[in-house]
Amino acid sequence: MTTALTTEDVTLTYPDGAGRLTALNRVNLRVTGGSVAAITGPSGSGKSSLLAVASTLTRPDSGRVLLETINGTVDLATASRHTAAALRRSSIGIGFQQSNLVSALTAVEQLEVMSHLGQRLLTSPARRRETRSKAMELLDAVGLADHHAKRPTQLSGGQRQRVNIARALMNDPSLLVIDEPTSALDTERGAAVIDLILTVVRDRGAATLLVTHDRTHLHRMDAVYRMVDGDLAPDHTAHLAA
């Protein structure tokens, strides 16, 4: 079975005075493993809400959010808190807009800690060596193997974002959710980060949702959607950004 994310008529509302504000209005999309779907749209249109629903951080009012993995299909919209937390550790990688790196940890330790989340006992020496090897492999994939011992304050903004992406891939997720990866970067570093995302996603087969305001790279995505006031539709003008 291929990995994939499918949303079916996903609706999410929030309290708004005496009424409800619609953040997502019957959103439908499908993203298969190894492909990137970009989500554009004005601020406040519902893009972050869609990422929150897809990554199990927010439960929708209605609709289905189906994540297909090699282990089967699960509806993220109805998953229990325990199941959702387990999925975020094992099957869902999240790349936040801000890197949110732990200041006390080195680059390689940022990745290693992902493998220890939820484990009650210290791992064996063999397991620790395996984890270190995998973390170093990912840092090498993002061009930071030589910086593995540096802490966040010793890294540039682009380097921190690359650590952020590598960390999201540490547990071989079936779904990768990335929020505004180039927002804090200049044009050159932003292009490098997009190159990295496209490469690692296709190499590792993760179905990927990427929210961005930057239209420069939309022509390189596998699909582009635009969200306005909670409504999601294909963006057929994306090729004009090339």
Span 206-216, pLDDT tens digits: 999 999 988 88
For residues 106-131, average pLDDT: 78
Contacts for 67-75: CB closer than 8 Å, 24+ residues apart: 67/3, 67/4, 67/5, 67/91, 67/92, 67/174, 67/175, 68/1, 68/2, 68/3, 68/4, 68/5, 68/6, 68/174, 69/1, 69/3, 69/174, 70/1, 70/3, 70/174, 72/1, 73/1
CA distances from 43 to 152, 226, 228 (A): 28, 12, 9
The two structure tokens encoding residue 198:
């496209």
Which pLDDT band, with edges at 50, 70 and 90, does 120 fall under? very low
- Mean of per-residue pLDDT scores for the chain: 89
Distance CA 134, CA 170 (A): 8
pLDDT at 82 over 90: yes
Q: Can you give the residue ranges of every domain in the chain?
A: 4-237
pLDDT at 199 over 90: no
For residues 54-68, average pLDDT: 96
CATH number of 4-237: 3.40.50.300
Span 151-169, pLDDT tens digits: 999 998 888 988 988 898 8
3 state DSSP class of 92: strand
For residues 74-101, average pLDDT: 89
Task: Decide: 75 and 20 in contact? Cβ < 8 Å.
Answer: no
Q: Which residues pair with 1 in a beta bridge?
A: none
Query: Please, what sign has the CA dihedral across residues 59, 60, 64, 68?
Result: negative
Q: What is the pLDDT of residue 239?
A: 61
Which pLDDT band, with edges at 50, 70 and 90, does 5 fall under? very high
Q: What is the pLDDT of residue 121?
A: 46
Dmax over Cα atoms in the chain, in whole Å? 58
Q: What is the pLDDT of residue 2?
A: 77
Q: Please give the order of strands across the beta sheet that includes 62-69.
A: 19-32, 4-16, 62-69, 72-75
Which pLDDT band, with edges at 50, 70 and 90, does 13 fall under? very high
